[in-house]
Amino acid sequence: MNGKRILVTGGAGFLGSHLCEKLLEQGNDVVCMDNLFTGRKDNIRHLMDNPYFEFIRHDVAEPLYVEVDQIYNLACPASPIHYQYDPIKTGKTSVLGALHTLGLAKRCHARILQASTSEVYGDPEVHPQPEDYRGCVNPIGIRSCYDEGKRMAETLFFDYHRQHNVDIKVIRIFNTYGPRMSMNDGRVVSNFIVQALRNEDITIYGDGNQTRSFCYVDDLIDGMIRMMNSRDGFTGPVNLGNPGEFTMLELAETIIRLTDSKSKIVHMPLPQDDPTQRKPVIDLAEKELDWKPQVKLEEGLIKTIDYFKTIV
Ligand code: NAD
Ligand code: UDP
């Protein structure tokens, strides 16, 4: 075994399970830690028989003692429904989770990557968003537990780096989709696909002219691993996302067409603080990581629809 010992927090979630799978394929020894709040054992069932894979049920807001070379810190509910379910807990997960994993990295001299988010830009006034844009975040709204939690986690990462020389990497992930997204976490791609496959109404919040940029999961995981293994001294933050920008109306129409669905579009109230536009500038990832998304939206949607057809 020549690989590294790698801890993935949130490893039973959507992104975490794809990451664990890829790291095992690359010959590493993977410890997957998760409290199964939004993650599922089904996401990692196919990895359980691998002798280089271990699952630990644990809350990232509590300290964990393991010996590892690298840490990917993904533990945090990511969909608005889930992170707003218990917002105080979401804050603890982000902030205490960052503190404990950074403490672990310091003790083990491990390299640590934080899965931050485009939500640190809030409802952006600068479009598209480069990494040096500081964001427009409401500190007291219903999305704040997540947005501000992730911002504080970034602060802790950079303070541990400056104060204790911890080897950090920070990525800001833009909306990512693909197989193993949870069917009921309210995110737009899974909602629309499930509604379309059931020929139910497609629920567009607001007028549907708000935009998002959607990255297919394989591209994102490739970028994440490239960032972890990037040159010494390159900390980020670096945006990872697909710059293709679509309105929610365009997304709904595409999914209806690809599923040959009889669904009709209906409009529902727009949630508070819903960002009106979002699109990453990815020049830094291209330069430092030689990374660019390869999967076009339709291609990724077809793969995702095929997955949902097996469970809907
Ligand atoms: P997810 O909800 O599927 O995965 C999160 C995982 O973390 C789940 O398995 C959950 O059980 C686990 N978890 C939550 N709280 C925990 C705690 N206190 N202790 C231990 N485990 C805990 O979401 P995802 O889409 O896979 O997101 C993974 C990470 O990527 C998150 O940190 C999220 O903020 C970030 N991210 C995701 C996206 C996206 O579009 N998917 C975008 C930006 C950032
Ligand atoms: N959205 C929608 N209908 C849905 C779910 C979401 O119109 O059934 C919209 C939502 O208001 C937002 C966009 O889709 O403008 C993306 O929502 P998601 O929760 O997937 O991600 P985020 O808002 O965190 O980017």
Residue 58 sits in a domain of what CATH number? 3.40.50.720
The pTM of the full predicted model, rounded to 2 decimals, is 0.97
Mutate to test the pocket of ligand 2, among 117, 176, 189, 248 (most ligand atoms within 8 A of CB): 248
pLDDT of residue 1: 58
Q: How far is C-alpha 247 from the geometric centre of its chain's CA atoms?
A: 20
Please tell me the total count of domains within the chain: 1
Query: Does any domain span residue 272?
Result: no
Q: In this model, does residue 2 exceed pLDDT 80?
A: no
Query: Does any domain span residue 126?
Result: yes
Closest ligand 1 atom to the C-alpha of 59?
19
Closest ligand to the CA of 178? 1
Answer yes or no: is the C-beta of 37 below 6 A from any ligand 1 atom: yes
Query: Quick one: tokens of 299?
Result: 């291609």
Query: Does any domain span residue 166?
Result: yes
Give the model's confidence band at 244: pLDDT under 50 very low, under 70 low, under 90 confident, else very high: very high
pLDDT of residue 61: 98
Query: Does any domain span residue 260?
Result: no
Query: Quick one: tokens of 253?
Result: 């129409």
Query: Does any domain span residue 44?
Result: yes
- Active site residue: 72, 83, 121, 146, which one? 146
Residues 39, 13: contact at Cβ < 8 Å? yes
| 273 vs 68: which has the higher pLDDT | 68
Query: Does any domain span residue 256?
Result: no
- Separation in Å, CA 140 to CA 35, 49, 117, 293: 27, 45, 18, 34
Give the model's confidence band at 143: pLDDT under 50 very low, under 70 low, under 90 confident, else very high: very high
Which residues constitute the domain of residue 91? 5-177+215-241+279-293
Q: Which residues neighbour 40 within 8 Å (Cβ) at sequence distance 6 or greater?
A: 12, 182
Query: Does any domain span residue 231?
Result: yes
Catalytic (active site) residue 146: yes
Query: Does any domain span residue 33?
Result: yes
Mutate to test the pocket of ligand 1, among 8, 37, 181, 304 (most ligand atoms within 8 A of CB): 37
**Interval 158-209: pLDDT, tens:** 999 999 999 999 999 999 999 999 998 899 999 999 999 999 999 999 999 9
